[in-house]
Structures are given as C-alpha cells and as structure tokens.
Amino acid sequence: MREASGRLALRAESATASRRFPRLLIGAAVLVLLGGCGREPPAAEPSRPVMTIVLGRTAGDEVLSFSGEVRSRYETPLAFRISGKIAARLVDAGAAVRPGDVLARLDPADTALSVAAADAQLELAAADAQRFRNLRERNFVSQAALDAKEMAYKAARAQADLARNQSAYTVLKAEQAGVIGLISAEVGQVVAAGQTVMRLARADTLEVAIAIPEARMPEVRELGVAEVGLWADETVSYSGMLREVSPVADPVTRTYAARVSIREADSKVLLGMTATVRFVRRNGSQRLVVPLTALFQHDGKPAVWVVRDEQSVVLRPVVVARYREDTALVDDGVEAGERIVVAGVHKLSEGERIRVLTIAPAHQPGASGRTAAGGGREAGGR
C-alpha cells in the first residue's frame, strides 16, 4: 500500500512540474521582450570637429623675415672726462636733447680749489718773470736765469688753463641732437673718468638690428634690399637696405649681427620698437601654399585631407615643390578653392565624418615664411 501511494504522489508532482515549465518559459520570454523594448538604439558616432582652410593661389615669392629692434646708427656713450661725484642729473631716459644742453654735473668743489691754486702759481710766476726782466735790463742776472723764469711762467700759465678746463669738465653737455637712451649713473654716485653715464642716440639715422642664421647669409647678402614693418603698426611699411653684417658669428647663438637702414623713416618709427625685416625674392609664378600641419605622410609620400561635401574627408596625394619652415608649395594634387584640413590630420581616417568647427583664413603669402633667429615670423624656402 505504501509503495502504491508513493508512486501516485510522484506522478502527481511530475504532472504539476510539467504544467509549470511552459508557464516559466512564457514568463521569461515576456521579460526578455519587455527588457528589449526599454533599450534605445546605439547612438551614431559623433562627427569629429576639424580646422580647415580654403586654398587659393598665391605668388610663389620667397620671403626671408627676421625680427629686430629699431636702433640708431650712432649711439654715443657719454661720460665725464674727470672723476668725481655726480651732483645733478638734468635729463631722464627718452628725453630729446639739442646740442649744448646740459645733461649732468659733478661736484665742482675740488676743481674750484685746483683752479684757485693754479691761478696763484700763475701770479707768482708772472711776478718772478717780470722782476727778472727788469734785472736783466740792468745786467744783474744772466740770460739763462731769465729764461728759466720765463719757462716757469709759461708752465704756470698752462697749468692754470688745464685747471680751468678740468673745472669745465664737471658739466656734461650734449654735443649733438638726439635721444637719451640709457642712464647708468645716478646723483650721488662717484664715477671714474670715462665711465659711461648715459647714451645718446641720434634720431635721424634709424636702422633695425637683426640676427641672421648662418644658413641664410648667402641669400640675405644677395638680396640686400628689404621691407621694414612695425609690429606696433602693421599698416606702415618702409624700404630698407642691408648696411652692415658682422664678419664673425656670435659664439652663443651662432648668428651674424646685421643692421638694416630705414629709408625715409617718419615719426611713427621710435627707438626701441620691434620691427620685422623682410627680404623678398620675387617670383612671377602662382602656386598653392599649404601649412605644414596639413601634410600627412601616406606610404612615404605627402598627402592632404580634402573635405568632401562639408561632411567627410578623403586623403589625396600631393606633389610638393618646396618646403618652407611652416608652409609648403604644392604643384599638383589639389586645386584652388578646395577645403583641406590643417590640424589633427593624424587622427583622421578615410571617409570619416567631420564637422567644420573653426575655419582658418586662407593662407596668405605673407604668412608662409620661415621663422628666423631673433624671433622672426617668416622666411624663405629651403
């Protein structure tokens, strides 16, 4: 009886389990469907923002550009001709002076005493010489004795003149018109004879001091004529001429100091201003100029990313005629009016969707130069 009852119970449990299993499957399927309905489709990959320019044909002129400082051709160190203590300084840096203007004075006490002593010696020598003249007329003294007194009188007179000159040297005056460019001594300071107190620069002989890399020396010497512009006012330009080049390179920078004179400089050109000197080699041909940041090396050859339909990019090989410091002259591969990517070219892939975030201005020939020593912004081709 017990075995029959156990069998009946097992059959009942298996029938119940068989009826529950389909229900569990249906419930799991419903849960899966409900979970799938709650998911959103994967978002599309965002477009990559890029910086681009529109190519335009420009003159293939080669430009060598150097930055420098406006200086005077004649910068005179001014100093007292005697030592002493500075009692007064009558000008400040940047002051315009005329010939004869008093710039500084030394304490005149010592020189005044020297003048008084020299004058006293002169009076004594003059009196002795006159007395010996009278005695010589009476033959009381020899001619040799009179000659000695005459020589002593001349020496005393020269000493008195020297003392008066020394007294005049306590006043420092401007010998020519110009601008005070540097002051290196102050009131109360004791200076030695010949020690520079200030510098006087002539304002009518302005030029630009630049530094030329040794690789650029032959080209600069050949061109000679230059254009000078001011960073403070980019609307003005002046003609210039290479006037002087140092024959020896600077041992630290390995550059050659040079001076470019400014022709017909007006009142806008001031001493100490930052200027740009451009040596231009004219070339009548028209070429496309692209920034070096736009070039991408593909299989060892240069290429650029061309924007297609303002939505995607395609890699296109180009033929580079000449490389410059930050630009390149392109002969073939792209056309004027096409838009190319100029930043982040190594992060792009063929056909990638892009978004023009910032549009750089079309590359101009004036900005296609070579950076030179001394802070220049442009220069010519390699």
Least Cα distance to 148 among 136, 158, 163, 161 occurs for 136
Cβ atoms of 255 and 373 closer than 8 Å: yes
User: Closest Cα partner for 342 from 289, 283, 292, 279?
Assistant: 292
**Is residue 136 packed enough to be buried (19+ CB in 10 Å), middle (13-18) or exposed (0-12)?**
middle
Looking up tokens 């009188």 gives: 153
Say which DSSP state 353 is in: B
CA atoms of 5 and 94, how far apart (whole Å): 123
- SS3 assignment, position 128: helix
Q: Give average pLDDT by consecutive 10-residue segment, the chain, 382 residues.
A: 50 53 55 53 67 75 86 93 94 92 95 94 94 92 92 94 94 93 92 95 92 90 91 90 93 94 90 91 72 86 86 87 78 84 84 71 43 40 36
**Six-digit token pair at 19?**
């009826």
Give the three-class secondary structure for 88: strand
* 360 SS3 class: coil
Pairing of strands 48-54, 354-359: parallel
Query: Do 10 and 17 form a contact (C-beta atoms < 8 A)?
Result: no
Token representation of residue 5: 């009852």
Q: Do 106 and 85 contact (CB within 8 A), yes or no?
A: yes
Distance CA 196, CA 187 (A): 14
* The Cα angle at residue 44 between residues 38 and 49, in degrees rounded to 5: 145
End-to-end CA distance of the chain: 111
Provide the edge-to-edge strand list for the sheet that holds 57-59. Answer: 57-59, 286-291, 327-332, 319-323
* SS3 category, 136: helix
Helix (H, G, I), strand (E, B) or coil at 97: strand
What's the chain's length in residues?
A: 382
Asked whether the whole model's pTM tops 0.75, one would answer no
Structure tokens at 285: 């041909």
Report yes or no: 278 and 231 within 8 Å, Cβ to Cβ.
no
Share of the chain residues as helix, strand and coil, in percent rounded to the nearest 5: 30, 35, 35
Domains and CATH numbers, the chain: 49-60+285-367 (2.40.420.20), 65-73+205-281 (2.40.30.170), 82-200 (2.40.50.100)
CA distances from 169 to 61, 79, 98, 99, 275 (A): 57, 10, 19, 16, 39
Question: In this structure, are strands 62-72 and 295-298 parallel, antiparallel, or unpaired?
Answer: unpaired
Written as one string, the DSSP assignment of 193-253 is TT-EEEEEE-TTSEEEEEEEEGGGHHHHHHH-EEEEEESS-TT-EEEEEEEEE-SS--TTT
C-beta separation of 76 from 131 below 8 A = no
Tokens, residue 332: 């073939």
pLDDT at 212: 94
